[in-house]
Structures are given as structure tokens and as C-alpha cells.
Amino acid sequence: MKLYSSLGPNPRLVRMFILEKGLDIERIHIDILTGENRQPEFADKNILGTTPVLELDNGFMLSEIVAICEYLEELHPDPALIGTTPETRAEVRMWARRIDLEIAVPMTLGFRGGAGRPMFEPRMDVVSTEAATELSAISDRHWVWLDGQLGDKKYICQDKLTLADLVAYCFIKFGGTIGWTLPEGTDNLARFVQHMDERESAKVWEDSE
């Protein structure tokens, strides 16, 4: 297998997932700053032009972080990061999807239509600056909501690290790379970030990639 990876929260999330699983997968850097992922050659790997992409041993190009993580979890069930029973898997999927749809998507769209506009406008549809401001505000409100859901727990669900924690953590860390900080009223998430920072897998955030 090979992982086509780049800057950004999504590839880093998969890299953390791989490290948490104790796997070693060859990584190929794609330079999204120069738009390498938007060149015709990359379209053969992912028609949507985004990273990460996992090239499977049979040559299939798998994109979308959840699909990649689910695939790796099926191949390597231990340690379980997406649950071990129908109920625990469903709970992790519920939280990962909530965080993705309610927080990561508006945050990303807000960034692309706001501060990130010069980079993204030439290569994809971006929302208006007004919509970007609103989406960023919605995402911030949802971070506060997630903070309340986390409360004084160490992890988002099941008292252990799961994919849901990795999604939340990677988008908070991504915020740090674009000048965003956790909104007021998210002390629980700040504590969560502190202990997640101590994980060996969090070192992926120290790389320039």
C-alpha cells in the first residue's frame, strides 16, 4: 500500500490512524500548495483532486478519510479505533460523522472562502466571503457544542481513543496552522488537545508536510 499525502488535516488524520495502528505505510508527498493534486496525473488517483489517497495492493485508489480508516481497521482490527461490536462501531461512526459534517465541513468551507480564498478560488468552487464568515461562525458555535458533549471526559466516546477523537483533534490542529484558535467556552477541548498532543502519533503535526 502507498499513501498519497499532503499538508492539511485529512492526510494527517490518516497518518495518525496508521501510527495508532502500529502500521508502516509508504508515504508519497503531494504538494497541494502548488496544485499538484489538481493536475491531470493526480485525477487518475482521485478524480476529486483531494488528498489523502491510499493505493491498495490491488492498485485500487481509495480516497475519503473515513473509507480509508474503515479499510485499515478491517485489515488490522487491533487496536480497535472504530469499536469492536455493532453498537460501539455505530457510536464511533455517529460521532465521527457529527464532527465531520457539523464542524469540519463548515470550518473548511469557511477557510476556503475566507483567508484561504487566494489558494482555493482558482482551483475549485468557493463560497462568497459573507457565506465564509457565516460558516466559520457556525463551526465555532459547534465547537462550543462539542466541548459541552466532551465535558470532563478524556475522550469523545467509549473512554478510549477512537476515530472520532482523531477527527476532532486534527481539525483543531489544522485551525492552529491557519491562525484560528479554539473559541471561548471550549476549556474541555483545550484540555483534550493537551493530552492528545502527548501521543506519539501527534508528531505528524510537527512535520512540514
Ligand X SMILES: N[C@@H](CCC(=O)N[C@@H](CS)C(=O)NCC(=O)O)C(=O)O
Which residues sit at the interface with ligand X, rule CB under 6 A?
A: 6, 8-11, 32, 37-38, 49-51, 63-65, 123
Shortest distance in whole angstroms from residue 150 CB to ligand X: 22
- CB-nearer residue toward ligand X: 41 or 78: 41
- CB-nearer residue toward ligand X: 10 or 188: 10
**Cell numbers given for 78:** 487491533
- Please state, in angstroms and rounded to a whole number, the distance separating the CA atoms of residues 181 and 112: 17
- CB-nearer residue toward ligand X: 8 or 185: 8
Shortest distance in whole angstroms from residue 77 CB to ligand X: 22
Dihedral through CA 156, CA 192, CA 187, CA 112, nearest 10? -80
- CB-nearer residue toward ligand X: 11 or 83: 11
Asked if residue 5 lies in contact with residue 209, where contact means CB atoms within 8 angstroms, the answer is yes
Shortest distance in whole angstroms from residue 183 CB to ligand X: 21
Stated as kind and residue range, the H or E segment containing 170 is helix 163-177
Q: Which residue is nearest to ligand X (CB)?
A: 8
- Please state, in angstroms and rounded to a whole number, the distance separating the CA atoms of residues 207 and 86: 36
Shortest distance in whole angstroms from residue 175 CB to ligand X: 12
Torsional class of 193: left (φ above 0), alpha (ψ -120 to 50), beta (otherwise): alpha
